[in-house]
Structure 1
């Protein structure tokens, strides 16, 4: 069975080229990446986002989900349109562009366990009840479609841009961007060696 060939018939509004973009970037069609695509499409529908319109996303997990918003929505860490606040939840908050100081309407979408319970393979994978082959999970995700998600509207205050202040650390003598008026960089303050084995194991 080729899931990619069968995909467009199972999910309303999904584009096969979007799946191919995620495959090329992510390396495989994981359940989390597919959930990201569905959340991206659902956010577009709820907020009536037009093609090419700038959006911002806050993902609540590093696992797979953010890739859909990077590839399909153009949201990246570098352009400051993607944040990851790792609460360990399969959830995302999306909003349109807004002016500094403006309050804009956004939407928070979550994969809802009260709804996934109707899809046994997806539910077992989601709550880590048992080990389920990814192909079976993906089929449940496709069959569930938007029915597996819950959402709520949220009001988001667009922050003002502050001037960047660069300081030379008094300990390591390396320049860093100050958050407040600190004289010591975060790595020296917390005695963190970014090249240490322990740091790399914790952050990758």
Structure 2
């Protein structure tokens, strides 16, 4: 039986974006299954007493330099969207709603949203910009909003976030391989080692 990488992430996390650019290929190399676990990073921070590195000016400044280094290493485009950090509650609800109700479209939507934020540097906190992004990506903005507003979808995001916290998650991205936890996109070499 192949191993599984559980990928707990939030669209608003630039490190989650960088991990996303690498994990599918890494899992393919190792014959592992990639399981996407959308969670709300703000909820994780609230539950654990953690905060975004940008809240500490020196740390935030260094983090952006370091993220750019990794983007260059991976050979992927990367830039910060205006208004960063953004509130991702609606985005994450729409994403997990799609995962639940149209799983065959989930990965395509994930790509549209990650690229819009971190490649095209679009402010998805602006409803008009989000609607345009979804429409251009082949998704119905009204359907996305309807999914995001469903009680069961809100509960699903809350449950994944609570599960993440219960398992020791304090930030994004966090991967699990057979119970082992790996925090940060800069730990993917350890994820691959765990799959070997």
TM surpasses 0.5: no
Shorter-chain TM-score tier: under 0.3
Q: Compare the two structures and name the one with the higher strand fraction.
A: 1
Q: Compare the two structures and name the one with the higher helix fraction.
A: 2
Task: Report the TM-score, using the length of structure 1 for normalisation.
Answer: 0.24
Q: Which has the larger radius of gyration?
A: 1
Task: Report the TM-score, using the length of structure 2 for normalisation.
Answer: 0.24
